[in-house]
A and B are shown apart, each in its own frame.
Chain A
Amino acid sequence: MNKHILIIALIVIGTLLAVNLFHEYEHENLKLLKLKEKFTVEKKTSVDHSKFQVLQQEFKTPQDVTKTCISCHTERHIEIMESSHWNWKRVAYVEGRGIEAIGKDNVLNNFCIGASSNEQACAKCHIGFGMTNDEYDFNNALNVDCMVCHDNSEEYMKGSALAGYPDRSVNLTKVAQSVGAPKRENCGFCHFNSGGGNNVKHGDLENALLAADRNVDVHMGVNGMDMSCVDCHTAENHQLKGKLYSVSSNNTNRLFCEDCHGDLPHLDDMINRHTSRVACQTCHIPEYAKVNATKMAWYWSESGKLKEGKPFSEDNDDGDHEYLSTKGRFVWEKNVKPDYAWFNGKADHYILGDTIKSIPVDMNPLYGSHDDGDSKIIPVKIHIGDQIYDKETKMLIQPKLFSDAKGDSAYWKDFDWHLAAAAGMKRVGLPYSGEYEFIKTKMNWPVNHMVAPADQSLQCNDCHTSSQDGRLAKLTGFYLPGRDRSYVVDFIGKWILILSLVAVMIHGGVRASVVLRKRKYQVDEINK
């Protein structure tokens, strides 16, 4: 009978083990299959603009094109003129500030610092024509640039430093006849090249996405789902879903993976329950800048060196600028592991006129913490650097950087920070004491794109480890199994265990020696 009991116990344990060892989820993820089905269907356009009578003409100015667009799409320009793409700002509520319009004319960054006084160049990425200064007429519908987003001919491009006007080579008629839904080339023209070059700012948005492998981006990979930007960033009345916290502040109009994939997208319950506090991107974007490098640091303080009185540049082996006299020194990195932060969808920004509170200056503090139930862990690209600020007023300086010619106080022509600072600050209506210095800054760029195929996502022990290389090693303030422990409890526990072992060994040893001595005594007695 004794054997039976043991056998039953062993069978129970054996079964438990076997079920675990050999059980693999082989079910197809039906939710995912449905999504794939949905996005595999190619959308057909219902109109061919090249057949429209009104577009059979030689357009002399881009405004003529806009006028023609509006002649049929009679109210669309109104929608556009309410969008942040046009206004370059949003009205937002920020704790400690109240309600404020926040956008490119008052928020600074730590790349090219700010658009104010540099509109001529910066407006290359404004969906309008003729923004040369801060007196732009945001109510003139004719200046809406329909083509930059709707050109489907890949012909259209905005000219450099043309205040948002198209390049002179563009055949406007060809563009006007091609229009359709935005393609990745349209969005990418600005969003891939922001900061003055490919992949400079985002790290997860770059020209490689125009024809990416699915290992680079599982959604956009041309050998995969081949989705376009607007498949996710859908729009209603020209208000696009999703935004980035380099300029946004509020937890509104965000685009989530969950919008398509649902709250519980995995077949495994253990992984699903992570979704309440861990954003999808955290595990599914293990690296960014997977094809081309991105800028990780920008030191303005080193700018201004000249060779024989002329600006110069130094490139690295990949052809990226490591030094520019106009901009300073850069650090580029490829295949970067993100930093991680708690984020609840709210952010603040350095707004022109703010006095700095801490060094390095956090250009866009992301709010959130473990104790805030609405926060999730997200991956972030942190871009560091130094930039000009006023020692007396403790304000970051908006310098005038761009001008067509020398003698206009622009730093990129005259290489004089005093002149650039004075001119820039005068334009934004802030004081400049005449004393400048460079101050360390950091900026947070949530990483949302370049989602990896599922088999490349992070594994449990990438975070659940006490190793210093653990992905969440720096994100403290909460208990993470496998990483955290109470050292007191561990210490006491270990010693209780050790002392128990020692105690039974001593006790057993003494007992054994007593028995042995007695036996020896008996043997000796017998031998006598």
Chain B
Amino acid sequence: MKQVLIYKRFERFWHWSQAALIMFLALTGFEVHGSINVFGFEKAVHYHRFASYGLLLLIAFAIFWHLTTGEWRQYIPTFKNLKVQFQYYISGIFKNEKHPSHKTELSKLNPLQRIVYFGFKIVLIPLVVITGILYLNYKTIDANNIIVISELSLDLIAILHTMGAFLLISFLVVHIYMTTTGSTPTSNIKAMLTGYEEIEEKIENKAEDKNEK
């Protein structure tokens, strides 16, 4: 067993602030939607807008980080072992079998995570962000007194945004639960907090061998 730095400092900062922002956006967003009543409509709108600027900024930094560090490769979907991984979660996990995928610094996501996070980054986040930016600027009035984004119907923007929000909080529920499926129930969360995770050396070497081949 060896302590390996799986999640780097920026990655952890990004992960946790994004988590906090998304939860806060969900809270205020569903208040604007009329589902809950916490801050009152006016404050909820203002908080939601403010937090959305934070999220946009964070996403910009995250994209930059992923591109410059090459970490984006971690999210390239693979169908190899996908079935095995899936079967592990629906049966193996109950029989106390070993994880079919092995975490390394260079490959920290299992095939199922890869495909889910890929979808999260390529479909879900863009859906919410793009509709969010349109919503944010809907019918603003520019310096020349011209109304911006007035031709597009707000129905479409708002409904897609809502749809994204429902998917996001459902993702959140499953995501939080899945963190308990590590080698111990808290090992994954610990790793995301400290960056380090205990990994069996032998298997790590094997994985590296595979990558080299």
Residues of A within 8 A of B (CB): 1-2, 5-6, 8-10, 12-13, 16-17, 19-20, 263-264, 269-270, 272-273, 275-277, 373, 459-461, 464-466, 478-479, 481-486, 489-490, 492-494, 496-497, 500-501, 503-504, 507-508, 510-511, 514, 518
Contact = CB atoms under 8 A, between A and B. Distances in A.
A276 B9 contact: no
B33 A263 contact: no
Interface of B: 9, 12-13, 16-17, 20-21, 24, 32-34, 40-43, 45-47, 49-51, 54, 89, 93-96, 138-141, 145, 147, 150, 153-155, 158-159, 162-163, 165-167, 169-170, 173-174, 177, 180, 193-195
A2 B139 contact: no
A258 to B, nearest CB: 11
The main secondary structure of chain B at its interface with chain A is helix
Contacts of B49: 270
B41 A264 contact: no
A19 B33 contact: no
Tell me the dominant secondary structure on chain A's binding face: helix
B34 A486 contact: no
Contacts of A270: 45-46, 49
Q: Which of B21, B49, B145, B159: most chain A CB closer than 10 A?
A: B159
A511 B16 contact: no
A136 B12 CA distance: 87
A20 B50 contact: yes
Contact of B166 (A12, A373, A493, A508): A493
Contact of A508 (B24, B47, B165, B180): B180
Contacts of A17: 47
B141 A263 contact: yes
A519 B149 CA distance: 62
A1 B195 contact: yes
Contacts of A514: 94-96
Given A2-B194, A5-B12, A461-B41, A481 B20 contact: no
Contacts of B150: 276, 373
Contacts of B93: 511
B16 A504 contact: no
Nearest to B140: A273
A448 B75 CA distance: 60
A71 B193 CA distance: 93
A496 B195 contact: no
A13 B45 contact: no
A486 B47 contact: no
**The 10 nearest A-B residue pairs measured at CB:** A493-B166, A504-B177, A2-B194, A479-B154, A479-B155, A9-B17, A500-B170, A9-B16, A2-B193, A461-B41
B54 A273 contact: no
A9 B18 CA distance: 9
Contacts of B166: 489-490, 492-494, 496-497
Contact of A6 (B16, B24, B33, B180): B16
A242 B13 CA distance: 60
A272 B141 contact: yes
Given A493-B167, A504-B177, A508-B180, A481 B158 contact: yes
Contacts of A497: 166, 169-170, 173
B162 A486 contact: yes
Contacts of A518: 96
Contacts of A500: 170, 173-174
B168 to A, nearest CB: 10
Contact of B34 (A9, A482, A507): A482
Contacts of B96: 514, 518
Nearest to B178: A504
A507 B91 CA distance: 10
A492 B89 CA distance: 25
B3 to A, nearest CB: 13
A464 B34 CA distance: 8
Contacts of A275: 141
A455 to B, nearest CB: 14
B50 A482 contact: no
Given A277-B139, A496-B166, A497-B166, A5 B94 contact: no
Q: Which of A263, A277, A461 has the most CB of B within 10 A?
A: A461
A20 B47 contact: yes
A492 B162 CA distance: 11
A272 B96 CA distance: 61
A494 to B, nearest CB: 7
A110 B60 CA distance: 62
17 contacts: A1-B194, A1-B195, A5-B193, A16-B24, A16-B51, A264-B141, A270-B46, A272-B141, A461-B40, A465-B34, A465-B41, A481-B158, A482-B34, A483-B34, A485-B162, A489-B162, A518-B96
Given A1-B194, A489-B163, A479 B145 contact: no
B173 A8 contact: no
Nearest to B171: A500
B177 A507 contact: yes
Contact of A496 (B13, B32, B162, B170): B170
Given A465-B34, A510-B94, A482 B174 contact: no
B140 A269 contact: yes
Contacts of B195: 1-2
A276 B139 contact: yes
Nearest to B18: A9
Contacts of B158: 479, 481, 484
Nearest to B150: A373
A6 B49 CA distance: 23
Given A5-B12, A496-B166, A510-B94, A485 B139 contact: no
